[in-house]
Amino acid sequence: AHAETLVTACQGPWTYIATAQAYDDEMRERIALHRSRRGEGWTTVDAPLDLAGALAAVPDGRPVLIDCLTLWLTNHMLAEHDFETECRRLADVLSRPRGPWFVVSNEVGQGIVPDNALARRFRDAAGRLNQQVAAVAGTVLLMVAGLPLKVK
């Protein structure tokens, strides 16, 4: 919700690039909730895998909200894609924004070490992806209890 507020402070129209896939009722409800928060002026682009391509297709100058990197990474990992190459490709596109771009991700490394290999692999990959994206971002915010903390 905070990212949506930041994006709508820019002049619209706005593009929402969604990475979620609705495999069950609970995720369909989450997606519906997100859509209900957005009013007129939003274009939604579903990009569960080709996030770099979706960004390339956005018109110059248009504000973009990407939600979210960790779901996008999950999609690639579960499909057994070369997610490391995709992460580098995405970071390269994000390093050359053609408008105000806002990226949502999750910090998953602050808890206990997961008990299985896939979860540990995901946690490590998400950490590396967040570092790559933060390195090319102009501003990085960490949300804690609904409050934005400026990291960069």
Active site residues per annotation:
34
What lies within 8 Å, CB to CB, of 63 at 6+ separation is: 7, 10, 11, 12, 14, 15, 99, 100, 101, 102
> Cβ atoms within 10 A of the Cβ of 118, count?
10
How many whole angstroms separate alpha carbon 82 and alpha carbon 77?
A: 8
Q: What are the binding residues for GTP?
A: 18-20, 35-38, 67
DSSP lists the bridge partners of residue 44 as 16
| Radius of gyration of the CA atoms of the chain, in A | 15
Q: What are the binding residues?
A: 18-20, 35-38, 67
